[in-house]
Structure 1
Amino acid sequence: MKEDSADSGALSDHTASRKILIPSDSPPILAQRENTSAAMTANPNGKTLWQQLLPVVACGAGLFSDGYINNVIGSVVTVLAIQYGDIWANSTAKTCLGAIAFVGTVVGQLLFGTGTYYKGDAVGMFNVLTVWRFFVGIGIGGEYPAGSVAAAEQSGELKKGTRNMWFIWFTNSMIDWGFVIGAFVPWLVAAAAHNTNYETIWRTSLGIGVVFPLSLFVLRFFIKEPEEFQKHSMKYARTPYKLVFQLYGWRLFIVSFIWFLYDFSAYSFSIYSSTILANIFDSTSAPLTTVFGWNTVINLFYIPGTMIGAPVSDWLGPRKALAVGVLLQGVVGFIMAGCYPSLAQPGLVGAFAVVFGVFQSLGELGPGNNIGVLAAKTCATGVRGQYYGVAAAIGKLGAFVGTYVFPFIVKAGGESKTLSAQYPFYVSSAGCVLSAALCWFGVPEVGQDTIQDEDVRFKAFLEANGYDTAQLGLRKDGSVLVEEPK
C-alpha cells in the first residue's frame, strides 16, 4: 500500500540515528493482509446486517448527548443574558459557562471566584451551573475514547466500501443530530412558555439532556469486544511507549492539531450562532422563538454535510475528503466574512442562514466526519484507545479555547457590529486552510482494511525491535486468547 511504503521511508529517515528497525512489506506480511481482508469480506460469522450494526450503534450513538449538551448551552446563555441583563453581563460565568464542559478532565480549572457571591443569588446560580458543566465534561470526555474506538473496531466487521460511512453515521452524525435537537428543544420549550417564562425555558432545555445518555446505558452491557481488540489488545501487556511514539508520534501530532482547529471553530460557532442571530435581530423586540427557530435552521445544515458526506469518505478516502471539505469551508468562510455587511440584516436573515449553513455543512463533510476516522484508524488496536483519547482531548482543548476566546475576538471589533461578526469568520477560515494543508501533506491514506493493516505493521515493528508480541490479545484462563479456526 502507498501509505505503508511512504511511512516506512519517513520513519527510517527519522530514526536512523537511533538504529530502530522498521520492517518493510515482506511477502509473509502481505499474505497475512490478504487473508485477513478475505476473512473480513466473507462475513464468516453469518451475522445479519443488523447484528453487525448493533455494536456500532450502541458504541457510537452515545455521542448524541455530546452534541445536545454542548449546543443547548448556547440557547441557555441567550436566555440568561435576557433574563438577568447586567448581572449576567458582569459575571465571570459569562465567559466560561459555555466553555467549561470542555475542561472537564482538568480538575481545578474552574474559572469563577467565590468572592462574587455577594452580588446575589443569581451569580451564585451561574457559578453552580459552571461547576456542574465541568462535571458533565468529565462524562463526555470518557465517552470519546470508549465509544468511538469501539465503534471503529466494530465497523471493521462490516462490508467493505461502507465501513467509514457506518462509523461516521453513528459517531459524528450523532453529534450533529444532537446539535440540531439541542437547538430545537429550546425553541419548542420557548413556544410552550410563550417566550416569557425564562426560568422554565433554560432549566427545561438543560434538564432534557439527561435522557439521552441514560437511553444507551443498559445496552452497552450486552456488547462484546470486537474481534480485532480480542486478538491485538495490550490489556495484559506492557505498552512500549517509546516505540509507540517513534512509530506514531508525528501522525498523532498532525491528527490532534487538525482536531484542535476543527473544534475551535465548530463548537464556538454552534454555541454562538443563537447569539449572532440575536445581534442581527432587535433583541428587545424579537421573540426567543424567532431567534431559536433560525438557530435550528442553521444547525440543520450540519445534517446534509455529515449524512451525505459519510459515503464520500468511503469513495475518496478520509484524508482527501477531510482536506477538500475543510478547504471549501475556508473559502465560504472568507466569502461570508466579506459579504457580512450585506447579509447581516433582518430582511436577509434567510440568506444569512443559508450561507452560514453551507459553511457549517462543509465543515462536517470534511473534518467533522473524518477526523474521528483518522484518529481511530491511523494506529494499531493495542494503542488505539490512548491514541484516540489524546487526539480527542486536544480537540476538546480547541473547543475550550475557541469558546473562551471567541468573545474576545468579537470584542476586538470594538463598537462595529460588522467587524465583531467578521473577525471570527476570518480566524476560522484561516484555520480551515491550515487544516487542509496539514491533512493533505501530513496524514496517510486510510483504506477499508487499514485497521487490520496497521495491526500487522505494528506487530512486525515491535518484533523487529525486540518486543515480545506473544503478550498481545485478551486472556482466558491465564493464557493469551488465540483466534480459533473458522
Structure 2
Amino acid sequence: MSDSFSVVENTATVPSTEAKSHETVIPTIRSDLEDVTKSRWGRVWPVIACGAGLFSDGYLNNIIGSVNTILRTLYPIAYINSPAVKNVPSIAFAGTVVGQLLFGFVSDHYSRKWSLMASTLILIVFAALSAGSYGANGTPSGLFTALTAYRFFLGVGIGGEYPAGSVAAAESTGALRKGHRNRWFVMFTNVQINLGFVLAAFVPMVVVLIFTESHLRAAWRVMLGIGVIPPLSLLYLRLKFQEPEEFTRERMHKYPVWLIIKFYWRRLSVVSLIWFIYDFSIYAFGIYSAAWLKIVLSDSAPLWKSFGWNTVLNLFYIPGALLGAFVSDWIGPRYALALGVFLQGVVGFIMAGCYQYLATAKNVGAFVIVYGIFLSLGELGPGDNIGLIASKTSATAVRGQYYGIAAAIGKVGAFVGTYVFPIIQARAPNPVRAGQDPFFVASSMSVVSAFIALFLLPFIGQDTITIEDARFRRYLEKHGYDTSTMGSKPKQEQQQLEQIQTMKSNSQSDCQC
C-alpha cells in the first residue's frame, strides 16, 4: 500500500442531497488504501486485533452486576450498609473515563499499537488482582476497599481500548472492500462488547451451579478471574500489529489546539451527547438487570435461575448488534442510529405501560422478551453506530482524542445512570412505579436522541475517513498551518534524507572518477 493519495476538487453533480447539503464542494478521493492484493484474512485481522479487546469491556463491566448480587447475599449487612454497594459496580466507569482521555492523547501523540499493548497489560494485571482481592486482616470492609481500588485501575485499561483499539480498527477498515467497512468495524467492536455481556450473564449461572450457593465466596472470584483470558488471548495479535496507513500519513507533531477546537467542537458535542444518553440507560440496565429479575422471580427463586434468565435476556443484544452491522452499511450510520434508538424508545414506553402485568413470576418469559427487544433495538441503533460515528467524524490526526472525549462523556453517562436509577426506584411511590419509572426516563431520552442524530449528525459514507482528512488539511492550510510537517516522516525530513542520499551518491561517483 502506498502512503500517498490525491484529492481533486469536484463541483460536479453530487450523488445524494444529503451529501450535497453536508459540503458544497465535495472532494473526490482516489485512495489506494483498499489493498486487494492481500487475502481477506490479511485485510481483516488488523481490525480484529484492534477492536476485539472491547470484549473485555462487555465482560468485566457486566460481570460486576452478578458479583454485586452475590456480595449482597454474602454480606447482607456489611456490604449493603457500606459505600461499596454503590462504588464496586460503578467505580470502573470512573477509571474508564480516565483511561479514555489518557489513551486518547497517547494514541494520537505517540502510537496506536503501543497504546493498545499498554491497555491490554493493564487489563490482565487488574482483572487478576480483582479476582484475588483481599482486605487488611481479612475484614470485609478491607475486601470491599481493595476490590474498589482494583476495579478503578481495571477501568483505566478498559478505557484505553476505546481511543486506541476502536480508532485503529476504524482506520484499518480502509483496506477492506467498500460497502462492507462498517459491518466489519461493528463486528469487532460493539458485537464484541455484547458477546462479553452474554458471557458475563452465562458464566455466573454455570459457576453458581458448579460451586452451589454454599461456596459463593469462591464463585465470585472465579467469575472475575475469567476476565483475564480475553486480553491475554490478544497479546500476540497486537504485538504483530502495524500502525494503520492513515495514522502514519496524517499524524501531527504540533497541535494547533484552538484551531482544532473551533473546527470540531459542535460535532463533538453532538456525538458526545448521544453517547451520554445511550450509556446512561444501557449500562445501568445491564448492571441491575439481574436484581430486577430476582424481584420478578420472587425471593424464593434460586440464584442460578435469576442468572439463567439474565443470560436469556442478554442474548437479545446479539441479534440487534448483528443486524445493525449490516443496516449501518445499507442505510448509513446516522439513519441506522436514529431508527434503532427511536424504536427502542417506543418499545420502552410500551413496556413501562404494561410493567405491572409483565413484572410477575408467571409472566417472566414475556418480561424477558419485551425487555430483550428493548435492548436489541438499542444495539441496532446507537450501540453499533455511535462508536463508528465517533471514529469517522474527525480527522486521523486528532481521532484518538476526539473519540476519547466522546467515549468518556458516554461513560460519565453510564456512571450517572448507575447512581440515578436506584434513586429513581427508591423514590417511587410503589413497587410498580419503581419498575416503570426507569423505562419512562430511558425511553424519553431515546426519542430525544433519535431527533438529535437525525438532524445534527453529519453525512457518513464509506470513504468518510479519507474525505475528512482532506477537509481537515484544507482547513489547516487556510489558517496558516504547515501540513507538510504531518505524517510519521514529514516531507521536510524526507527531503533532507533525499538530499543526503543524493550527496552520498555524488561523492561516490566523484571517487570512482
The answer to whether TM tops 0.5 is: yes
Please list the CA deviations of residues 427-472 of structure 1 after superposition, one character each: whole Å capped at 9, or x if unmatched: 1111101110110111011100000110111111111111111011
Unaligned runs of 5+ in 2: 1-13, 99-134, 497-513
> Which of 266, 275, 287 does residue 271 from structure 1 map onto?
287
Structure 2 counterpart of 1:145, from 149, 163, 168: 163
User: Matches of residues 70-469 of structure 1 in structure 2 within 5 Å?
Assistant: 70-104=61-95, 121-234=139-252, 237-283=253-299, 285-414=300-429, 416-469=430-483
Q: Which letter maps to 2:255?
A: T
- Residues 473 and 480, structure 1, Cα contact 8 Å, conserved in 2: no
Unaligned runs of 5+ in 1: 9-23, 108-116
Residues 311-352 of structure 1 show CA distances to partners (whole Å, capped at 9, x for unaligned) of 100001000000010000000001101100000011110110
Q: CA RMSD in A?
A: 2.1
Deviations, residues 17-65 of structure 1 (Å, cap 9, x unaligned): xxxxxxx627xx43xx1x22xx345x35x00111000000000001100
Checking the alignment, whether the CA contact within 8 Å between 1:231 and 1:481 is kept in structure 2 is no
Distance apart, 1:5 and its partner CA: 4.9
1:69 equivalent in structure 2? 60
CA distance in 1: counterparts of 2:494 and 2:471, whole angstroms: 20
Query: Aligned to 1:202, what secondary structure does the other structure show?
Result: helix
Distance 2:382 2:70 in 1: 31
Give, in whole Å, the separation in 1 of the partners of 2:206 and 2:166.
Answer: 30
Q: Secondary structure at the match of 1:217?
A: helix
Q: In the alignment, is the contact (CA less than 8 A) between 1:473 and 1:481 conserved in 2?
A: no
Deviations 1:173-211 (A, max 9, x none): 000000000111111100101233111221111111111
* C-alpha distance 343-481 of structure 1, shift in aligned 2 (>3 A): farther
- Deviation at residue 119 of structure 1 after TM alignment: 13
Cα separation, 1, equivalents of 2:356 and 2:244: 53
CA contact (8 A) 2:340 2:380 kept: yes
Amino acid at match of 1:368: G
- Counterpart position of 1:18: none
**Which position in structure 1 is the counterpart of 2:7?**
none
For the 8 Å contact 2:97–2:412, the answer to whether it is kept is: no
The answer to whether the 8 Å contact 2:97/2:159 transfers is no
Kindly tell me: are residues 368 and 409 of structure 1, through their superposed partners in 2, closer, same or farther at Cα, counting changes over 3 Å? same
Equivalent-residue separation in structure 2 for 1:65 and 1:454 (angstroms)? 30
CA distance, structure 2, for counterparts of residue 106 and residue 244 of structure 1: 21
Q: Is the 8 A contact 1:61 1:170 kept in 2?
A: yes
The runs of at least 4 aligned residues of structure 1 exceeding 4 Å deviation read 1-5, 117-120
CA distance in 2, matches of 1:444, 1:207: 42
Deviation (angstroms), 1:269: 0.5
2:194 aligned counterpart, secondary structure: helix
Match of 1:19 in 2: none
Matches of 2:350 and 2:438, distance apart in 1: 13
Partner Cα distance (1:477, 1:458) in 2: 18
- Equivalent residues of 1:71, 1:270 under 8 A apart: yes
Distance 2:151 2:161 in 1: 15
Offset from partner CA, 1:120-174 (integer Å, 9 cap, x none)? 9222212221111111111111111000000000011100101000000000000
Secondary structure of 1:243's aligned partner: helix
Q: Which moved more, 1:431-440 or 1:471-480?
A: 471-480
C-alpha separation in 2, matches of 1:275 and 1:481: 64
Give secondary structure in 2 for the equivalent of 1:475: coil
* Distance in 2 (alpha carbons) for counterparts of 1:248 and 1:51: 34
- What is the one-letter code of the residue matched to 2:178? K
Distance 2:21 2:265 in 1: 15
Deviation at 1:212, TM superposition (A): 1.2
Task: Give me the whole-angstrom Cα distance separating, in 2, the residues matched to 1:3 and 1:132.
Answer: 47
User: Once the 2 structures are TM-superposed, how far is the Cα of residue 282 of structure 1 from its aligned partner?
Assistant: 2.0
| Alpha carbons of structure 1 residues 106 and 399: separation in structure 2 relative to 1, 3 Å | closer
The 3-state SS of whatever aligns with 2:213 is coil
Paired with 1:64 and 1:53, the residues of 2 have a C-alpha distance of 17
Q: Which moved more, 1:469-478 or 1:316-325?
A: 469-478
Contact 1:474 1:480 in 2 (8 A): no
Question: Aligned letter for 1:182?
Answer: A
Work out the CA distance in 2 between the residues paired with 1:428 and 1:267.
12
